[in-house]
Amino acid sequence: MPNPFRSSRAVTAGALLGAVSVAAALLPAQGADNASAIPQLMLPRTSGWAGGFTGRIPPAETYLPDDYLHNPANIQRAIALGSPPDKATAFLQSRSLNEYIPPAGGIGPISDGPEHPFYNNPMRAVVGKNGTYRVADLNSEAAKNVMPWALEALKKQNALALAEKNGETRQARCWELGVPNIHEAPQPLYFIQTPKEVVMYQGHRARHVYMNVPHSRNPEASWYGESVGHYEGDTLVVDTIGQNDKTFVDGYRTPHTTQLHVVERFKVVNDGKGLDVSFTVDDPGTFYKPWSARRPRYLVTDRPLNEEDTICSAGNEDRFNLGFDPLPHADTPDF
Amino acid sequence: MRVGVGHPPAPGLSAVWGRIIFRFLLMHRGASLCESLKNYGRMSWEALLARARVWLCATAAAALFVASLPAGSPVHAAAAVPDLSGTYWANVYYPKVPVTGGGDPPLNPAGQAAYRKNQQGLRDGSLQDPVRKLCLLDGIPRLLSTPYPFQIFQFPPGQVTFVHELNNQVRAVPLNEPLPTYEKSIINLTYGGYTSGHYEGDTLVIQSNGFNDQTFLDSSGLPHSDQLMTTERVRKIGNQLEDLVTIHDPAYYTRDFQARYVYQLRNDVRLQDYACGDKHRDLSSVRGVAEVRAARAQKRFP
């Protein structure tokens, strides 16, 4: 007859062993996503990364980089573009709601100039003037990086915008935007993150990024090209080639060729309050040197994908004959 | 905010149970299960009780461990949610709702009048099909007949997301949220409708209502009223996905009726970009597409 006392100790030891072994069997499934430091771009369904005037706009400091908001050169530029000196921060924030912001260093994006400053709706409130369409400053450093054929295209668009014609951006006319111009669109950006694929959706647009795979040899040209991605620590890096030449790279309608190569970097900042989006654009058919820009987004909650954003083309005709782009449409619908 | 990344690990579940069984066998120190069972027969009541306590403690510890995991963790998800994720593509296109059991949709006189009007309008061009002309949202069940591939993601948390190639339609189905009542849904009717989903065993059940009058039930112009309510039962059968939809619209139909749509799992296919009016992917593998295109070219409607 075994000693009941000793047996009970063995029982306790056995139970402990059992619990530990069961825990060990279950742990890997749980540990897998705790251990990773990849950016949590995917949010609960009611939250997204807003790029425009979506809901309550948080204070600039919570999602805009310091080197943008407090850079003396940017403040000087804001004043040159018409900002009251005491409202430069508000001006810079308003501007960032539908414009790329310059990179921390190097060649930046095409932009407006003091001659024809661009005022979007929130900037109008800051400067106390009427809104204006975008007119590219062709004397800037960024414009000097643009090849003559593309400069010609910009000149034509400038003339149209100054004549109050076709001043709307491609996103406002509901077109597919390509990369990087999808970042100009203000609608909240939503992510689905799986190990093999990252899907970005925004209004009526959807983009697919295939993770940890090489590019195809000759991807067929398409609106968003072929995007492959990987994580570099806390940053999602997306490399895109194979875009068609029907899109523009910015709101000023700077064209590009099918040689366009874009590398985007997505990083969650300030404890999930902001999404840092930066990208480098290389197109040996359009630009002498690669340039880069940023487009920070902020967290919005209580705003799942909205049908209003999704049905852009419904009731969006050029009713007042402002020379807008036609809406995308199918003359012979298939299905 | 904590969000799990990765597919619902339903396939991993068997691996977890496999490891538990392996540990169970290990605890019998190499003896076969039969021998162990024989041993139980020879054991004294005290020893048997002690052994029972070992298992009780181990089970309780495991249960406590699982319960302590945050909600939405893969272990919980694996226990409750069928894995529907993947890329799917139909191999048949139905220009008309394929009524289960055959025959025509059970239109009542008001429905018949609306259908005649729609068909006449589509034929003579007096009625636009704005959903197709401007590439908007199809509504249900028209979206279900898509001849283009689509993806299902059981992400982000609290949502099942259908990403369609056709018109880039993203259908974001919230889980376990109430569907608006009829009275609420008609305040703002929409192209995509309001939806709500929940799981019943191996099936995702999706209810939708609040569709506007710009949408048809199919490309032939089958009409619906603002009372339309659809209930889909989506499940995986082997390498196929079945979407069994029940159509409830007492204003235009004499009874509820069903249609069944089946898609093949095609994880080898990447979704392509879709822009309205472009020439899109080759659909020759989808039965019914060529006939419909030929008919449309001659301005004939199904």
- Nearest alpha carbon to residue B280 among B192, B89, B163, B149: B149
Does residue B4 lie in a domain region?
no
Three-state secondary-structure class, residue A286: coil
Q: Do B138 and B69 belong together in one domain?
A: no
Q: Do B152 and B203 belong together in one domain?
A: yes
Give the residue-averaged pLDDT of B2-11.
38
Does residue B164 lie in a domain region?
yes
Whether A330 sits inside 8 A of B69 (CB atoms) is no
Q: Do B195 and B284 belong together in one domain?
A: yes
Q: Kindly list the residues from chain A whose CB atom is less than 8 angstroms away from the CB atom of residue B62.
A: 19, 22-23, 26
Q: Kindly list the residues from chain B whose CB atom is less than 8 angstroms away from the CB atom of residue A2.
A: 46-47
pLDDT, one tens digit per residue, over B262-288 is 999 999 999 999 999 999 999 999 999
| Whole-complex ipTM | 0.87
Give the CA-trace dihedral at B263, B266, B270, B276, to 10 degrees: -20
Closest-approach residue (CA) in chain B for A2: B47
Q: Are strands A291-294 and A274-282 parallel, antiparallel or unpaired?
A: antiparallel
Whether B192 sits inside 8 A of A307 (CB atoms) is yes
Selecting from A45, A176, A311 the residue whose C-beta is nearest the C-beta of B136 gives A311
Give one DSSP letter per residue of B105-142, joined into a string. --B-HHHHHHHHHHHHHHHHTSS--HHHHTT----TTG
Residue where one domain finishes, among candidates B59, B80, B101:
B80
Going from N- to C-terminal start, the domains of chain A cover 48-310
Interface check for B302 against chain A (CB to CB < 8 A): the answer is no
Closest-approach residue (CA) in chain A for B169: A204
Q: Kindly list the residues from chain A whose CB atom is less than 8 angstroms away from the CB atom of residue B271.
A: 206, 208
Q: Do B67 and B184 belong together in one domain?
A: no
Place B68 in a pLDDT band, splitting at 50, 70 and 90: low
Of B26, B69, B276, which to mutate for an interface test with A (greatest number of A Cβ within 10 Å)?
B276
Q: Kindly list the residues from chain A whose CB atom is less than 8 angstroms away from the CB atom of residue B57.
A: 11-12, 14-15, 18-19
Tell me how far apart the alpha carbons of residues B79 and B12 are, in angstroms, rounded to a whole number.
11
Does residue B14 lie in a domain region?
yes
The domain spanning residue B174 has which CATH number?
Answer: 2.40.128.20
Q: Is the peptide bond before B156 cis (omega within 30 degrees of 0)?
A: yes
Q: Do B50 and B186 belong together in one domain?
A: no
- What confidence score (pLDDT) does residue B71 get? 52
What domain range is B120 assigned to? Answer: 86-297
Q: Which of A56-65, B39-48, B126-135 has the highest mean pLDDT?
A: A56-65
Say what percent of chain B tops pLDDT 70: 75
Q: What are phi and psi of A116, to 5 degrees?
A: -135, 75
pLDDT of residue B38 exceeding 60, the answer is: no
Tell me how far apart the alpha carbons of residues A273 and A253 are, in angstroms, rounded to a whole number.
31
Helix (H) or strand (E) holding B37: helix B33-42
Distance from CA of A107 to the nearest CA of B (A): 30
Interface check for B190 against chain A (CB to CB < 8 A): the answer is yes
> What is the number of domains present in chain B?
2
Q: How many CB pairs under 8 A join A and B?
A: 212
Q: Do B228 and B153 belong together in one domain?
A: yes
Q: Between A18 and A258, whose confidence is greater?
A: A258
Tell me how far apart the alpha carbons of residues A264 and A238 are, in angstroms, rounded to a whole number.
5
Q: Do B180 and B105 belong together in one domain?
A: yes
Place B26 in a pLDDT band, splitting at 50, 70 and 90: very low
What's chain A's average pLDDT? Answer: 90
Place A283 in a pLDDT band, splitting at 50, 70 and 90: very high
A206 with A185: CB under 8 angstroms? no
Does residue B199 lie in a domain region?
yes
pLDDT of residue A27 exceeding 90, the answer is: no
Place B294 in a pLDDT band, splitting at 50, 70 and 90: confident
Place B58 in a pLDDT band, splitting at 50, 70 and 90: low
Q: Do B176 and B206 belong together in one domain?
A: yes
Of B135, B145, B208, B298, which to mutate for an interface test with A (greatest number of A Cβ within 10 Å)?
B135
Of B22, B54, B164, which to mutate for an interface test with A (greatest number of A Cβ within 10 Å)?
B54
Q: How far is CA B129 from CA A234, A297, B302, in A?
A: 46, 36, 14
Selecting from B5, B61, B132 the residue whose C-beta is nearest the C-beta of A36 gives B5
- Residues 113-132 on B with a CB inside 8 Å of A are 129-130, 132
Q: Between A55 and A153, whose confidence is greater?
A: A153
Q: Do B54 and B97 belong together in one domain?
A: no
Does residue B17 lie in a domain region?
yes
Whether B170 sits inside 8 A of A191 (CB atoms) is no
- What confidence score (pLDDT) does residue A24 get? 47
Distance of CA A226 to the CA centre of its chain: 17
Q: How far is CA A84 from CA A78, A114, B66, B255, in A?
A: 8, 14, 59, 67
Q: Kindly list the residues from chain A whose CB atom is less than 8 angstroms away from the CB atom of residue B159.
A: 45, 304
Q: Do B91 and B186 belong together in one domain?
A: yes
Of B273, B298, B299, which to mutate for an interface test with A (greatest number of A Cβ within 10 Å)?
B273
Burial class (CB in 10 A: 0-12, 13-18, 19+), B47: middle
Of B21, B24, B28, B168, which to mutate for an interface test with A (greatest number of A Cβ within 10 Å)?
B168
Residue at A61: amino acid letter: E
Q: Do B117 and B62 belong together in one domain?
A: no
Selecting from B26, B275, B289 the residue whose C-beta is nearest the C-beta of A223 gives B275
Q: Do B33 and B159 belong together in one domain?
A: no
Residue where one domain finishes, among candidates B50, B80, B110:
B80
Whether B4 sits inside 8 A of A33 (CB atoms) is yes
Whether A193 sits inside 8 A of B5 (CB atoms) is yes
pLDDT, one tens digit per residue, over B85-144 is 999 999 999 999 999 999 999 999 999 999 999 999 988 888 888 899 999 999 999 999
- What confidence score (pLDDT) does residue B300 get? 74
